[in-house]
Amino acid sequence: MNHTTSYQSNSLHIQKKYSTACLTFIYTEMAPSLDNRSSLFNFVVRDGNGVKGIVDAGISKVPQAYIQPPAEQIDKKNASKCEVPPIDLSRLAGPDQDEVAKEIVKTAETLGFFQVVNHGVPVDLLESLKDAAHNFFGLPAERKAVYLKEVSPTPLVKYGTSFVPAKEKALEWKDYISMVYTNDAEVLQHWPIECREVALEYLKTSLDMVKKLLEVLMENLEVKLDDSKIDALIGRKTVNMNYYPTCPNPELTVGVGRHTDMGTLTVLLQDGIGGLYVKVRDDADIDKKGEWVEIPPVPGALVINVGDMLQILSNGKYKSAEHRVRTTSTKSRVSIPIFTIPKPTEKIGPLPQVVQKDGIARYREFVLADYMNNFFGNPHDGKRSLDFARI
């Protein structure tokens, strides 16, 4: 080895040591005391570092603030997989239309969750969407924190972590960005540049499928809704990107706690890692009553689930699905849901045609904004959100 090579090698070694020392110093200065809930809360929630911030700081165990009570922890070893095959939506346009409609109705009445293939959303778009989510959450914390609710330059975009962290006994192991759709021009101006185009394309190519599914479900109730009424049921549309960083102790945490979705129908893109669990109702006319079953990822498929509004509109015939998400120690996971709900000013209640047939209304009428305030003002707690409207 000549003197120049030796000098370069030593210089490189010193630079590496210096860089490591600087990095250690930075994390020591920035990272919170993980045992101090107030310090952790400020770092993760208020300052916008999120769960990713504490994972990047090199933790080897889950902070106490994220440890769920034993009853809420997810036992992966003893959970079974949902064995309902995906529904091929291309068959809705052919001679099997009635059979496919029955499959959709049955799953909406029992589990409240089903997967669909040949749904009209290009599969390469779904792959680009997952990449865009990883790219966004890979940004430095300060780039994401500009969208924190208190400082976001637009009401259309909100970045955050957990669900209602100020009120939760145990935090959820999830960061997210939530993007509300108004019109294309505003979206292209305000949604984050890292994901705006692909997220908008995902939303627009999914809407025909959502409308088709609603038509099938309404027809089964013997309710004929024109296009304007269908549009009213999905008048507010939001695309979320959820990020679940790797977790050192997945068995102690949850990515998302037990809850139902508030809206009409949810469209969800899972990645290949898995971790979505749905509870089979005790009175469901299917196997595994009372159990939590995993919805396994199917390449190219989208997950559809019934929300609270559809349960209320159908007077309880369709069931919003209680679900939750597990964390993983092997790889960070993303999921991208589209939430379709009525506009906040809409009056919602059971459809009159259904009430007439049932002879009783099981839910009261309300303005959606009031339901939203109740839903987003409380921590996740199973199907309790429906109590707001229950008679």
Q: Is residue 259 part of a domain?
A: yes
Number of domains comprising the chain: 1
CATH for 262: 2.60.120.330
- The tens digit of pLDDT for each residue in 231-250 reads 999 999 999 999 999 999 99
For residue 27, pLDDT over 50 is answered with no
Distances (CA, A) of 198 to 161, 241, 254, 339: 22, 12, 28, 16
Q: Is residue 4 part of a domain?
A: no
Q: Is residue 199 part of a domain?
A: yes
Q: Is residue 58 part of a domain?
A: yes
For residue 29, pLDDT over 60 is answered with no
- Mean per-residue pLDDT of the chain: 88
CA atoms within 13 A on the CB side of 131: 8
Q: Is residue 257 part of a domain?
A: yes
Spell out a b/e string for 261-273, using b for 16 or more CB atoms within 10 Å of the CB, else e.
Answer: bbbbbbbbbbbeb
Residue 285: give the domain boundaries: 37-69+80-388
> DSSP label at 320?
P
- The tens digit of pLDDT for each residue in 156-202 reads 999 999 888 888 889 999 999 999 999 999 999 999 999 999 999 99
- Return the ∠ at Cα 176 (arms to 170 and 178), rounded to 5°: 125
The pLDDT of residue 80 is 84
The answer to whether residues 320 and 261 touch, using CB atoms and an 8 Å cutoff, is: yes
Q: How far is CA 11 from the centre of its chain?
A: 48
Q: Is residue 274 part of a domain?
A: yes
Q: Is residue 246 part of a domain?
A: yes
Mean pLDDT of 268-277: 93
Q: Is residue 74 part of a domain?
A: no
